[in-house]
Structure 1
Amino acid sequence: MTALALARSWRPKTFSQLVGQDHVVKALTHALDQGRLHHAWLFTGTRGVGKTTIARIMAKALNCTGEDGQGRMTSEPCGKCPACLEIDAGRFVDYIEMDAASNRGVDEMAQLLEKSAYAPSNARYKVYMIDEVHMLTNHAFNAMLKTLEEPPEHVKFILATTDPQKIPVTILSRCLQFNLKQMPVPLIVEHLEKVLAAENVAHETNALRVLAKAAQGSMRDALSLTDQAIAYAAGKVSEEAVRGMLGTLDDAYLIRILDSLISKDGATLLAIANEMGERSMSFSLALADLSSLIQKIAAAQIVPESVLEDWPEAAEIRRLAAVLSREEAQLFYQISITSRPDLSLAPDEQTGFAMTLLRMLAFRPGNDSPNAPRSGGSPPVGNTPKPIAPSALAVSASVRSVPIPISASVAPVPAMAAPADLSPSSADRPDWHALMRQLPFKGMVQQLAFQTELQEWHDSAAGVRVTIVTPMPQLASDASVGRLADVLSTHFGKPVKVIIEKGAVEVKTVAKVDAQIHQEKRQNAEQMIAQDPFIQQLEREFGATVVGGSVKPL
């Protein structure tokens, strides 16, 4: 006789047997006990967390008649009445499971809704369970809207999906929505221990931790992997057997990798990559495990109590947390997670993994590399590169009608200050240009501030009266002027009244000064480009010309 898969034989049959979904169980059992039932429920969550299982338990709870056949709707189905037995066996005529992935059209939905008008054959409620409901077409969703909102009294709808974002809001608003959680690793391990103990299968707890981590939050996947591990091990489910089956690294490899990075031992790193290749390990999973271990180390550096005593690698995590700097842990973590997508671009995964380890070895926080000078030290002797000027230019040249971008270094142009106001009556006047740059203006207020010139400044004990001129009065709305006055009042610590006048200005506004500085920098850049030996060589040998207006100081 063929053995039933663990995921099927250990499927929960009552709410009390459900694992990890207490928030959903609590709401549904209260509703059933109080008789306050909605007509449609939507269960969302990743695969293998119990959506279909809860739907079947709900169908039994709604239709259970008890062992004596006289029972009422209950949150604790008996499991022995015809309704419970037939639902568990998958042959209850009034419980209809529909896969929306293969029955997604409007015709299938219309057929289902047409049958819903008829009373149940031999049940209290006719229950429709639509799995992966997000796969329905828009026309199918539209067809079910009215029935879903006001179904017959004998009909209940249970919808399930792994992608609720694709369900129209008109459907969501007609359902009670429950989000099923992913199963945490400790909970999966606890359940697997219970299952294997009942199945009389010897096992190691660390092996179950590896299986639980590989299941990625799905209890069904964990049970399926456990079935596979039992067959693979042909006896005791050990950590070594499970890692061999999954192609994952054990912690010893990960610890060796980090120790080699700390000691800057590149030869050992390459040897570890070769060993993993010989054992046909998954390099993508290896980087995932490595990033997970580094995360635990980084957490231990900040929050030492985050390391749990029941972790097999707890002692090594504490040791590495003390040896690695916080910056190194952050850098190694970043490299490990960003390198996983690159494995598919490498000649082969082993090469990509080896390059990831060498990248961790080559880079250090604080530019600590063999060819980079340390802080406060002298640069290395030899061919020292010339310093690059702070300002660079983007240039387009045309060679045989093909524009070529060229980069060149240009000496920076000193910023031009606003002309100083030397009139005797304004000795205490502020540098308006510098003041407008300093204060925290934003949006329209900044535009107004940059397009003004100071005309009068009267400072007294009672406050300051400022008269400014702008050529753009459309910027001077009451709100902008008020905000300008508020910022000035805060800055000077006394009331400031701002008076706006329309008129021409000299080259004293921030905008005009900036424009003049930019123009001088551009002229200087064009002159430097014209005198550049490389540009002159291109012009002589290839007939190249600099595209007019393409020189832009950066």
Structure 2
Amino acid sequence: MADSFDLGEPPQPVKAEAYRVLARKYRPQTFAELIGQDAMVTTLGNAIARDRLAHAFLMTGVRGVGKTSTARLIAKALNCIGPDGQGGPTIDPCGVCEPCRAIAEGRHIDVIEMDAASHTGVDDVREIIDASRYAAVSARFKIYIVDEVHMLSKNAFNALLKTLEEPPAHVKFLFATTEVNKVPITVLSRCQRFDLRRIPADKLAKHFAEVCEKEGVAAESEALALIARAAEGSARDGLSILDQAIAHAGLEGGGVTADAVRQMLGLSDRGAVRDLFAMLLAGDSAGALGSLRRQYDYGVDPVAVLRALLETVHGVTLSKVGGTDDLAQAVEERAARTDWAANLSFPALHRLWQLLLKGHDEVAHAALPIEAAEMALLRVIHASSLPDPGELARRLAGAPEAAPTQAPAPVPAAPPPPASLVPADFAALVDALDGGGQLALAARLRHGARLVRYAPPEIVFSGSRPIATDTLAELAAALKCMTKQVWKLSLDDVPGEPTLNERQLAADAAERQAMLDTPLVRAALAAFPGAELEWPNQRSTA
């Protein structure tokens, strides 16, 4: 009989491990890996060490800052038993014991995760309430993690309240939400709340550099800084962008470059933005439009150009007030902003901000974005030569002009300063306000103000015809801007003089009557019975 041989199972091909995106691969597994949330980690560590654990925790913050990851870490911290199986709750879970590994892999029977976006009803919450009565099967605590808890219905929240306030000792609730304002106050008051902060751009860039090193990918520091800023404080968003940038780099081995990231994200080149901003300040219309068109031809969204200009104005303003430099910015960028801050006044910066912000909103909703962007830049250039309100008031009052804050069109030389900035009388003061663009204020004073005393820097008005308090406040501000003095404005309960309008009408009437009294006009009226004198100067000063 022939011998039979058992050759066993044929060799199986090695199954390639499925690729995991960076946001999942580098999800924090310990509190030490949770970046940017030091205050929360300290609080939790102290609570665990002192055995002062709340029965419900609420994590809130923008997307991708680690809310769900934190909930899982808390679950591990509370249920960790250590490598030897004898450990207790700890802020540094071992990661090797069975509870730690099961929770990290999402298979622990006593750690139940529920997405409130797809389980919004009262029946879903009732299942949690009923199951919470039973003790944990193998863990120290039975933990319920409810993601996007604000999506629960009103009835579901109401059903949860009693159990949430007095849960069994073996149950912990961990809630996560991006919209904490939608969570009822009755739920918030029963939870220990942690507001997870946006992660600073410098910490994100450092984290991305570590990820690139682990992945064996070369990346320029400027590229990582661009990704960190685009992430807007979200580690998950940043890792997703980094994943895309690595794929965009391809197999050539060039790594992740700043130019490639700008092209991928549709960002304006910072050098081009600096050049464009300088052209706006110099009033170079043709150069500014040409620069905008070049960026548009490269594929840059016009909205992104306006956004970059807004960021520049904001950075210059922060530099002017002595803010801390953004170390993620290039040296050339910081030097340019410092130079502009020294030469631009706050009114000029505020005006630039408002003009660019208006332009950004227009371009974002325009049917013709590039054309709207060009018109917005032209408006900025042409408005740059206009004086600010304070300078305009000084000009109208005859004050010397302030030094130019920008380099637009040349401004005519100012007249020599007068002996005083204070108008000679009340009528001259109202005329100065009218000429300075304060038309509504001047009209209210002409028609409603009865003067008692004009003794600069003090004005007393009659209280028999009161002036609104907001009018007095507006007048005080205008006078301070015009004369560089603080004025005292008050009311006195006396009749006061007629208003300027009443005085003007009376003067017109007296002039007309004097004309009627002349022999020539009397003779003409007598010769033509029924004739009337047309009086072109009869007017109101409204």
Fold agreement, TM-score > 0.5:
yes
Q: 2:161 aligns with which of 118, 142, 145?
A: 145
Q: Equivalences for 1:127-142 in 2 at 5 Å? A: 127-142=143-158
Deviation at 1:300, TM superposition (A): 2.5
Aligned to 1:357: 377
Letter in 1 for 2:154: N
Quote the Cα distance in structure 1 between the aligned partners of 2:103 and 2:338.
52
Structure 1 window deviating more from structure 2 (241-250 vs 9-18): it is 9-18
Structure 1 window deviating more from structure 2 (96-105 vs 342-351): it is 342-351
| Structure 1 runs not aligned, ≥5 long | 378-386, 392-408, 421-431, 444-489, 493-507, 528-551
Quote the Cα distance in structure 1 between the aligned partners of 2:64 and 2:413.
53
Are the structure 2 counterparts of residues 415 and 326 from structure 1 closer, same or farther at C-alpha, using a change threshold of 3 Å?
closer
Aligned to 1:303: 322
Q: Equivalences for 1:135-534 in 2 at 5 Å? A: 135-234=151-250, 235=253, 236-303=255-322, 306=325, 311-312=330-331, 313-364=333-384, 365-366=386-387, 376=415, 417=450, 434=461, 436=463
Q: Is the 8 A contact 1:148 1:174 kept in 2?
A: yes
Letter in 2 for 1:366: P
Are the structure 2 counterparts of residues 164 and 415 from structure 1 closer, same or farther at C-alpha, using a change threshold of 3 Å?
closer
Are the structure 2 counterparts of residues 28 and 419 from structure 1 closer, same or farther at C-alpha, using a change threshold of 3 Å?
closer
Are the structure 2 counterparts of residues 52 and 114 from structure 1 closer, same or farther at C-alpha, using a change threshold of 3 Å?
same
Quote the Cα distance in structure 1 between the aligned partners of 2:444 and 2:94.
87
Quote the Cα distance in structure 2 between the aligned partners of 1:389 and 1:32.
68
Deviation at 1:259, TM superposition (A): 1.8
Quote the Cα distance in structure 2 between the aligned partners of 1:344 and 1:410.
39
3-state SS in 2 of match to 1:340 = helix
Quote the Cα distance in structure 2 between the aligned partners of 1:196 and 1:169.
43
Deviation at 1:319, TM superposition (A): 3.2
Quote the Cα distance in structure 1 between the aligned partners of 2:148 and 2:302.
32
Deviation at 1:70, TM superposition (A): 2.7
Aligned to 1:14: 30
Aligned to 1:100: 116
Aligned to 2:95: 79
Write the deviation string for residues 123-148 of structure 1: whole angstroms up to 9, x where unpaired.
11110011111111211111100000
Write the deviation string for residues 314-362 of structure 1: whole angstroms up to 9, x where unpaired.
2222333345454433322222223222113323221222222111101
Q: 1:67 aligns with which of 74, 83, 89?
A: 83
Q: Is the 8 A contact 1:416 1:513 kept in 2?
A: no
Quote the Cα distance in structure 2 between the aligned partners of 1:415 and 1:439.
8
Are the structure 2 counterparts of residues 439 and 415 from structure 1 closer, same or farther at C-alpha, using a change threshold of 3 Å?
closer
Write the deviation string for residues 139-173 of structure 1: whole angstroms up to 9, x where unpaired.
11111000000001111001111111111111111
Letter in 2 for 1:281: V
Are the structure 2 counterparts of residues 34 and 305 from structure 1 closer, same or farther at C-alpha, using a change threshold of 3 Å?
closer
Are the structure 2 counterparts of residues 43 and 353 from structure 1 closer, same or farther at C-alpha, using a change threshold of 3 Å?
same
Quote the Cα distance in structure 2 between the aligned partners of 1:242 and 1:161.
31
Deviation at 1:376, TM superposition (A): 4.5
Deviation at 1:190, TM superposition (A): 1.0
Aligned to 1:539: none
Aligned to 2:65: 49
3-state SS in 1 of match to 2:20 = coil
Q: Is the 8 A contact 2:447 2:500 kept in 1?
A: no
**Normalising by structure 1, what TM-score?**
0.69
Q: Is the 8 A contact 1:284 1:343 kept in 2?
A: yes
Quote the Cα distance in structure 1 between the aligned partners of 2:414 and 2:169.
78
| Structure 2 runs not aligned, ≥5 long | 1-15, 389-403, 417-430, 436-441, 454-458, 471-487, 510-539
Quote the Cα distance in structure 2 between the aligned partners of 1:413 and 1:209.
59
Quote the Cα distance in structure 2 between the aligned partners of 1:410 and 1:27.
62
Structure 1 window deviating more from structure 2 (335-344 vs 19-28): it is 335-344
Quote the Cα distance in structure 2 between the aligned partners of 1:433 and 1:67.
85
Q: Is the 8 A contact 1:94 1:123 kept in 2?
A: yes
Are the structure 2 counterparts of residues 77 and 517 from structure 1 closer, same or farther at C-alpha, using a change threshold of 3 Å?
same
Quote the Cα distance in structure 1 between the aligned partners of 2:304 and 2:200.
19
Letter in 2 for 1:231: A
The percent of aligned pairs where both chains have the same amino acid is 37
Quote the Cα distance in structure 1 between the aligned partners of 2:95 and 2:375.
58
Are the structure 2 counterparts of residues 283 and 46 from structure 1 closer, same or farther at C-alpha, using a change threshold of 3 Å?
same
**Normalising by structure 2, what TM-score?**
0.70
Return the structure number with greater strand share: 1
Quote the Cα distance in structure 1 between the aligned partners of 2:229 and 2:489.
58
Aligned to 2:125: 109
Deviation at 1:509, TM superposition (A): 5.9
Quote the Cα distance in structure 2 between the aligned partners of 1:418 and 1:433.
6
Write the deviation string for residues 178-199 of structure 1: whole angstroms up to 9, x where unpaired.
1110011111011111111111
Aligned to 2:423: none
Quote the Cα distance in structure 2 between the aligned partners of 1:218 and 1:4.
19
Letter in 1 for 2:245: A
Aligned to 1:549: none
Are the structure 2 counterparts of residues 16 and 340 from structure 1 closer, same or farther at C-alpha, using a change threshold of 3 Å?
same
Q: Is the 8 A contact 2:28 2:69 kept in 1?
A: yes
Letter in 2 for 1:151: P
Deviation at 1:209, TM superposition (A): 0.7
Q: Is the 8 A contact 1:204 1:238 kept in 2?
A: yes
Are the structure 2 counterparts of residues 229 and 437 from structure 1 closer, same or farther at C-alpha, using a change threshold of 3 Å?
farther
Letter in 1 for 2:350: Q
Q: Is the 8 A contact 1:390 1:411 kept in 2?
A: no
Q: Is the 8 A contact 1:389 1:412 kept in 2?
A: no
Quote the Cα distance in structure 2 between the aligned partners of 1:437 and 1:190.
70
Quote the Cα distance in structure 2 between the aligned partners of 1:21 and 1:419.
64
Deviation at 1:373, TM superposition (A): 7.8
Q: How many residues align?
A: 430
Quote the Cα distance in structure 2 between the aligned partners of 1:307 and 1:99.
38
Quote the Cα distance in structure 2 between the aligned partners of 1:517 and 1:165.
54
